[in-house]
Structure 1
Amino acid sequence: MGVDRLRHGRGRAVRLPVVVGCGALLLAGCASIPNSGDVEPVKASPRGDSQVRVYPVAPAEGADPNEIVDGFLEAMTSDDPDFAVARKYLTKQASQSWQPANRTTVLASAPDPADPQGPSGPDGPGLTYPLFGDQIAAVDAGHAYQPVAPEPYNGSIHLVQENVLDGKEWRIDDLPQGLVLGESDFQRNYRAVNKYYFAPGQGWLVADPVYIRQRIDPVTRMDPVTQAVKVLLEGPTDWMRPVVDSPFPTGTELKRGTRTLEFDDRNALKVPLNSKVDNVGREQCRKMAAQLLFTLRDLTSTRGEQVELLRQDGSSLCVLSGDQAEEFAADRTSGSPDSPYFIDAKGRLAQLSASSKEPIDPPRVRGPFGDGTMPLGQVAVARDEKHAAGVSQDAKSMYVGSIISAGEVGDALVVSKAEKKEDRLSAPSWDGNGDLWIADRDPQQPRLLRLADGADAPREVTVDGLGDARIEALRVSADGVRVALLLTEDGRTTLQIGRVERRGPAGRQTVSVTELKAVAPRMETVTAVSWAGPSRLVVVGKEAGGVQQVSYIQTDGSTSAAGVLPGLNQVTGIAATDDEQQPLVADSDDAGIVRLPTGANWQTMVQEGSSPVYPG
């Protein structure tokens, strides 16, 4: 069933999308098609509606140049095998050279062709259609999403008249490489997937987000599960490659001809591989299987319970269950759900009950941070929930102390010499290695510091590309290979992610943060950030001319319509955990310390307090 196409205006195509959920025929219970009203142009499918399908239409005989351009732009948004219909709009030579999988350019809305210019072009007289729009991102050949601050897109499509059996037809002979899609078409056709690799020298996995097709890939003809396995085997994205390892032998691929992988009725999956894995040992194979289980867990409606890797001859290489794979998770320190903490009105560290339905008087932790002898302004609780790092109320000094036993706090481990409170220490953060991080915002000596095991002398961490920006706040990921930074420059605070690169033996490591990349380029300012999963952040900020909002953003900078959370005024702090079952906790000047349970609205937990945190 093809898409019905009407003409509007100067000849632009009007899309009447087919909704797959009702099937090819109108069945009882499906909405009827309206038979009255004006025809209005639709430049893109509804945001995020993966059930909308676009079926391309081949060029009609004698189609004019406008119809050729519009038909091709529409055909690019389809799932047509190898974009066969889209290629019918191209000359033979252009069809051979066009590589739709090389790159996807994402615009805020569908590309808008202007009136043609001509005659001109590389192959003689023809027509050039400039393409306009605001580019917001690109996806490279490695499936990595790269956001940009909205910037003008200036591409073009060139047409010539090509000889055919019955005369000449207009066809496209020059065009942008790859696909050019509006944001809603991109979200309809693609989905985010985390592929997983190991932190160097560690036994835990690190998420590396990429985008694959929602349905069958037009180029490879692979279903989403097979696509995810393929991109995992291709190796890490360029940005992540320096800080992760893969136990898959170089050259490992799916067995030739594999296009479909399906979980059986026991939620088990068999993955046939080529001969590169035939002699892999058991422990290495278990790690490979864990990478696959973690990568595939978000692709199916039920959790994958088992993966079996097969040699090229079909014999079993190893089997790993979902429960066994959990030993490779990054944040598994405490063995129980993380608890949120906050600083009460008297500067004491207290523990919140995330599950309580009514506001209660939170119990304070033991030791100097809970008994009031060391009033706090900022805090970070270690991932094992046995220690905490506290910053004094004047932001001058940082201490580390027990939160499970009484005792005195020792000397300050970090002291800022800045004159103003706002120029002193940031809130600290613990990584999955047990190291403690903090920023000294002293204008005379700004520093990012790391304390190995939370106790060693602070060592400065270089931040490549920081320039004149100042680190206002930081949050290190549970895997320890990425750090989220709030950077202030020229009165604007932005969110950027950096790689944490470690060199040298333990105890004498040189640590640096490299290749900063903007995560929320469309936001004018960012107020607070927290990790909310292996590759997801929860961010408080606002876009230019907008109001403050709380939203989820992937670490690659991509967003979805579901990412914006219920409104909350005057948010100064936000806390989340990798466990999606645990609620968000926020500090609101209007409502106090609040939480956001799944499927509910914000609820007040305590009226007075600050600095809500989960361990980390």
Structure 2
Amino acid sequence: MITPLLMALLAVLIAGCTGVPGTGPVVAVGTGPSEPVAPTPAEVDKNLAPDQVVRQFLESSADTSRDVSRTAPFQTARNYLTEAASKSWQPQNNTTQVVVLDAVRVNAPTAGRAAANQAEVDVQGTQLAVLDADNAYRATAPTEYNHSFGLVREQGEWRISNPPNALVLTQSQFDAAFKQRMLYFVSQDGEVLVPDPRWIIPGPSPKDRAAALVDLLLGGASIGLSPAVQNRLDGGRLRGNVELDPQNGDVKVDLTGVQPANQQAQLQLIGQLVDTLAPTEAPGVQISIDGQLLGGRAYTPRDTQSLDAEQIPAVGPSVPADAYYVNSGGHVLSLSSGEAMWGELGHSAQVKAASMSAANGAVAAVVTSGEQQKLTIGRPLQYQPSTTVLTADRLTAPTFDRSGSSVWVVQQTDDKTDVRQLTTTAPFGQQSVTVPDLADLGQVTALERSPDGARVALVADKKLYLGTVVESDAADGAETGRRAVSIVGPTEINPRLTDVGPIAFQSASTLLVGGKQDPSSVFVTLLQVTVDGVVTTPNASSDISDDVTDIAVGNQDIFVCFQGRVWKLDGTLLAGVWEPAGSQAGAQTLGSRPFAPN
């Protein structure tokens, strides 16, 4: 079995490249000879000690730019193995293709364990993540990794007899060799495309990357996402190699075994390929089925905008992009004008948190009522009063679906935790969302739906979890018209994140999280976390001087709260600065819980 990882590795040398991004310039190549001669594998130094053999083996297997051919991948690394081990070592066929460590510690042979013709060398490190067989990155709880390399002498030189099943890379080696790319699949309702991050070795040209990505698309969604999406390429295969049009650089893909049932299904198939491949790898994509070019032309992302989860569906009057916050008195005020929101939310209610749908202007708010909290739904922008639809001991901030037709909250009592889905129009029907073992996670303090509706992020016991949303036929569906809804998972997506508080989806593939990547951090700061658990600290976070208590995203604006004030990002997370949010330039807005139509 040849996996997409191996095909990507092979492509590096087939195209004659001698480096990967981070080690040298990437040279774009055309459609030259299909089978150029691979470079000669590097020679192994003579008279190496056992630990030197192990160290150079690990370095060689991490260098994905060299010594790869169709018949003998990782040839230089194999030169450090015994003849028998060299023939049997197939890391590309393993369930776990890569083990990512914080650092690799190669120990010298322990005294008494090395004999004239045998030796053992221990390699240790802290495991941070793995790359699974489908090229999906999976962060793991920090655990000790250990492999005892057995070495024997062959022709007078030390050689490894038991290499590990997977490639062993440090985090820095992995980051240099692999790059994240998004595959796209179709949401359960068929309305939008859903991103699915994978990690590939980029290769020297768009053609190599496109071929690897198409192979992964044909293989289907990653294990965690697959219950929540459809694949219009399911059952398909390539009729020939993925090619580039020499005139304009378009990717050319010719499929067989797929036949869209209707125009919408054809658009979804086009969308999966176009959003995965263009414009990152090519300006457009020419898609053929059994040799027939669909539409007689190339497709670009402009053709698939209707499937973009970031686009707000037009289901009602346009909603102004104004942002709001809750002042110290518990009232909702406009950040731009300082005026109170119409109705009880702006004048009399004690608001704990609120959300607004960008699709229809519905506002769901959690309001304190004595020792309990109640959820209200209304349309204050249309002067429609709020209605109480749910009461509980504790409620999380509400989160809308993309169309604004339903809102989700977590209701909690001392002995029960339950996710509720409620419709946003009278008679405000509600149902329970099934989440296996939810109560075992601890107190849930936040829940957010992704813009595409396929995922749910939640915070429990200060840990970040991600699950997928699956709908199925309900037992009473014929009478009620309802569908049963469940969350598959949820799974802690990066166990190294601690003290997690506020969360918000920045996009369908990325969360903004208030938390700590390092337990020794002084503050709960703003982090970016992709849905596969990769964490980065934006440059803009360096200006945050206290715990981040709230995060909001809307109309491409980002708001946070720290020091009891509301701040708005001026610029990007890469190079922006935090400015006081409010109606008067430079004035500090005291308050919390900012929200914007989303």
* TM-score over 0.5 (shorter chain): yes
Offset, 1:602: 0.9
Tell me the residue number matched to 1:482: 455
Matching residue's letter, 2:401 = D
Is it true that 1:156 corresponds to 2:148 in the alignment?
yes
1:424-448 superposed Cα distances (whole Å, 9 cap, x missing partner): 1111111225321011122133221
Cα deviation digits, residues 149-192 of structure 1 (max 9, x gap):
21111123222222xxxx33322221111211000111111111
Query: Following the alignment from structure 2 to structure 1, what is the Cα–Cα distance between the partners of residues 499 and 321?
Result: 29
Matches within 5 A, 1:227-376: 227-250=212-235, 252-258=236-242, 261=244, 265=248, 269-277=250-258, 282-297=263-278, 299-300=280-281, 306-313=284-291, 315-316=293-294, 319-333=298-312, 339-352=322-335, 361-370=337-346, 372-376=347-351
Residue 471 (str. 1) matches residue 444 (str. 2): yes
Provide Cα deviations, 1:101-159, integer angstroms capped at 9, x if missing partner. 233444443321112259989xx962221110000100101011111121111123222
What residue is the counterpart of 2:200 in the other structure? 212
CA offsets, 1:322-361, max 9 Å, x none? Answer: 22201011232256895533223443334445xxxxxxx3
SS in 2 for 1:294: helix
Q: Which amino acid aligns with 1:254?
A: L
Name the structure 2 match of 1:200.
188
More displaced, 428-437 or 339-348?
A: 339-348
Q: Who is 2:88 aligned against? A: 97
TM alignment of 1:561-572, pairs within 5 A: 565-568=541-544, 569-572=546-549
Number of the residue aligned with 2:62: 77
Unaligned runs of 5+ in 1: 1-16, 24-54, 354-360, 419-423
Q: Secondary structure at the match of 2:448?
A: strand
2:34 aligned partner: none
1:272, 1:314 within 8 Å by CA — same for their partners in 2?
no
Task: Decide whether aligned partners of structure 1 residues 429 and 283 sit closer, same or farther in structure 2, where only a CA change above 3 A counts.
Answer: closer
Does the CA-based 8 Å contact 1:107-1:137 persist in structure 2? yes
After TM superposition, the structure 1 = structure 2 runs for residues 517-556 of structure 1, keeping only pairs within 5 Å, are: 517-542=491-516, 543-547=518-522, 548-556=524-532
1:425-474 C-alpha deviation (Å, 9 max, x unpaired): 11111122532101112213322111135653332222113243221111
Question: Of the candidates 492, 501, 511, which is equivalent to residue 470 of structure 2?
Answer: 501
Output the CA distance in 2 between the equivalents of 1:294 and 1:454.
Answer: 34
TM-score, length-normalised on structure 1? 0.79
- The one-letter amino acid of 2:185's match is Y
Gap change, CA 1:507 and 1:374, over 3 Å in 2 = farther
2:383 is paired with a residue of what secondary structure? coil
Give the Cα–Cα distance (whole angstroms) in 2 for the partners of residues 292 and 323 of structure 1.
Answer: 13
Provide closer, same or farther for how the CA distance between residues 595 and 332 of structure 1 changes in structure 2, counting only shifts above 3 A: same
User: Which residue is equivalent to 2:30?
Assistant: none
Q: Counterpart of 1:421?
A: none
Matched, 1:602 2:581: no
- Quote the residue 2:51 is aligned against: 66
**Counterpart in 1 of 2:395?**
425
Structure 2: gaps of 5 or more residues = 1-20, 28-39, 583-588
Given the alignment, which residue of 421, 427, 430 partners 1:450? 421
Residue in 1 that maps onto 2:586: none
SS at match of 2:227: helix
Amino acid at match of 1:84: Q
1:398 maps onto 2:375 in alignment: yes
Of 361, 374, 380 in structure 2, the residue corresponding to residue 386 of structure 1 is 361
The answer to whether 1:189 aligns with 2:196 is no
Give the conservation status (yes or no) of the 8 Å contact 1:367–1:401: no
Report the equivalent of 1:128.
120
Does the 8 A contact of 1:126 with 1:160 survive in 2?
Answer: yes
Secondary structure in structure 1 of the residue aligned to 2:345: coil
TM-superposed deviation, 1:21: 4.7
Q: Distance in 2 between matches of 1:18 and 1:461?
A: 46
Q: 1:20 aligns with which of 7, 24, 46?
A: 24
Q: What does residue 462 of structure 1 align with?
A: 434
Secondary structure of the corresponding residue to residue 174 of structure 1 = coil
Q: Which moved more, 1:493-502 or 1:341-350?
A: 341-350
Q: What secondary structure does 1:523 align onto?
A: coil
Distance 1:497 1:18 in 2: 31
Quick one: distance in 1 between partners of 2:407 and 2:247?
44
1:391 counterpart letter in structure 2: V
Match for 2:129: what amino acid? A
Identity percentage over the alignment? 25
* 597-606 vs 182-191, which moves further: 597-606
Distance 2:87 2:261 in 1: 40
- Would you say the 8 A contact 2:332–2:345 is kept in 1? yes
Q: 2:284·2:300 contact (CA, 8 Å) conserved in 1?
A: yes
Could you say if the C-alpha distance between residues 560 and 180 of structure 1 is closer, same or farther in structure 2, counting changes exceeding 3 Å? farther
1:611 match: 593
Given that 1:308 and 1:317 are in contact with CA atoms closer than 8 Å, whether structure 2 keeps it comes out as: no
CA distance in 1 between counterparts of 2:345 and 2:254 reads 54
The change in CA–CA distance for 1:144 and 1:594 in structure 2 (over 3 A counts) is same
Q: Where is the helix percentage greater, Structure 1 or Structure 2?
A: 2
Q: What letter matches 1:184 in structure 2? A: S
Q: In structure 2, what is the Cα distance between the partners aligned to 1:138 and 1:161?
A: 32
- In structure 2, do the counterparts of structure 1 residues 315 and 409 end up closer, same or farther at CA, with 3 Å as the change threshold? closer
Could you list the per-position Cα deviations for residues 45-66 of structure 1 after superposition, in whole angstroms to 9, with x for gaps in the alignment? Answer: xxxxxxxxxx984312343323
Give the SS at the match of 1:524: coil
Greater mean deviation of Cα atoms: 85-94 or 589-598: 589-598
Letter in 1 for 2:579: Q
Q: 1:522 to 1:279 in 2, by over 3 A?
A: closer
| Letter of the structure 2 residue corresponding to residue 253 of structure 1 | R
Q: What SS does the corresponding residue of 1:408 show, helix, strand or coil?
A: strand
For these two proteins, the number of residue pairs brought into alignment is 531
Give the Cα separation in 2 of the matches to 1:280 and 1:92: 53
Contact 1:271 1:307 in 2 (8 A): yes
Residue deviations 1:169-219, cap 9 Å, x none? Answer: 3222211112110001111111111211111133211111111113359xx
Give the conservation status (yes or no) of the 8 Å contact 1:224–1:299.
Answer: no
* Partner SS for 1:427: coil
Match of residue 179 from structure 1: 167
Q: CA deviation at 1:546?
A: 1.7
The superposition leaves residues 268-313 of structure 1 with CA deviations (integer Å, 9 ceiling, x where unpaired) of: 623322422478765433211111222234735xxx6532202344
Provide the C-alpha distance between the structure 1 equivalents of 2:539 and 2:290, rounded to a whole number of angstroms.
42
Rounded to whole Å, the distance in 2 between the matches of 1:263 and 1:482 is 39
Q: Letter of the aligned partner of 2:400 in structure 1?
A: W
Tell me how far apart the structure 2 counterparts of residues 241 and 183 of structure 1 sit (CA, whole Å): 27
